[in-house]
Amino acid sequence: MRIFTLILLVTLTLGSCKERILKSAILPSDFHQTIGGKQAKLFTLTNKNGIEMSVTNYGGRIVSLMVPDRSGRLEDIVLGYDKLDDYINSNEQYFGAAIGRYGNRIAKGSFKLDNLQYNLAINNPPNSLHGGAKGFSSKIWDATQNGENELELTLVSPDMEEGYPGELKVMIIYRLTDKNEVAIFYSASTSKSTVLNLTNHSYFNLHGAGNGDILDHILWLNANKYTPVDANLIPTGNLDPVTGTPFDFTTPIAVGARINDNTEQLNFGKGYDHNFVLNKKEDEKVSMAASVYDPISGRFMEVFTNEPGIQFYCGNFLKGKEVGKKHKQYNFRSALCLETQHFPDSPNHSEFPSVVLKPGEIYSSACLYRFSVK
């Protein structure tokens, strides 16, 4: 009898120590770390169709996203690392991350608001990029998992953090729906007038992260115009028509079809690294912004948003130095980002849609990536 009890106890103890094995093969315990008194973790969301997504509250990052191809085979289609330490020490700081306070560049890291001048960290000389030296992508967010398919992240960013005015209360909800959508909802409020532009910086490769480049992905962008840039990737202020240029994705075409054309704009971006002005019907809130199709795997991704713009960046700054999940190297143009957003450098362009958030107002932004096969 005693021996039986002992065996039972040992079995139960071993069983409870056993770690959940994710389809992505990532070990959640590799994300458990206390940083600055806060606990970083990995959360796993699942839906009824077997899609699995993992998110860490370190930077609100989508770490893995297991999506089926046309034969039902799951593959992890976002770039990233399988250990928290690798995220912390990476040269590429934004894999899968929540970006804030300001997605993309602010020229020379300065802007004026209500006649006051604000100066930000120049972390991408000569500009400020993605919220500055320690943006939302490197914060430990407070996290609450709501059931199998939803994660709620919250953060209080103090007044003048990274040079931005106003104490900001931010919430991000990641929801993995049974329609195979990754829905991201952002909301925020501020104690003082400020500027805000939140987005997510997932790097997608529909072949699977680390499985070659994305030049054969067929892209459609619902944009008749884009915002051309100067040599420092700051918008000139013009909204140029895409017609007759390599920026015309209004008819689906391979990303690589014209990427090496010798044009000033492609040379500035070292490929595509531009904001597109989304076509919107009057009063249209959330609308379809983009789609990407991988003819090899059949994976199809559609992007929806209420934002006026989308940054199409195709990994021109990846150089194979990053060794990601499963020891795979992330080479030049081995992923693409479709970051729903207001336009870069809007605080210095009164002609662009406003990014000002005032006390009493609620910032609200949505981005939805929907997956299917063709």
Site residues, ligand BGC (CB under 6 A) = 92, 94, 104, 233, 273, 311, 313, 317, 337, 339
- Say if residues 337 and 313 touch (Cβ distance below 8 Å): yes
- Using omega within 30 degrees of 0 as the cis cutoff, is the peptide bond preceding 333 cis? no
Q: How far apart are CA 193 and CA 358, in angstroms?
A: 4
Q: Annotated catalytic residue: which of 201, 207, 217, 342?
A: 201
CA distance 374 to 361: 42
| Type of residue at 275 | N
**Whether 204 contacts 258, CB under 8 Å:** no
Q: Least distance to ligand BGC from the beta carbon of 311, Å?
A: 5
How far is residue 281's CA from residue 272's CA, in Å, rounded to a whole number? 26
User: Is 201 an active-site residue?
Assistant: yes
Task: State the virtual CA torsion across 215, 232, 310, 351 in degrees, nearest 10.
Answer: -150
Residues 6+ positions from 293 with CB-CB distance below 8 Å: 206, 217, 218, 252, 299, 300, 301, 374
207 an active-site residue? no
Catalytic residue among 92, 162, 322, 339: 339
Task: Write down the least CB distance from residue 105 to ligand BGC, Å.
Answer: 7
297 and 70 Cβ atoms separated by less than 8 Å: yes
Q: Taking the CB of residue 217, how many other CB atoms lie within 10 A of it?
A: 24
H or E segment and range at residue 119: strand 116-119
Would you please indicate which residues are annotated as catalytic (active-site) residues?
201, 339
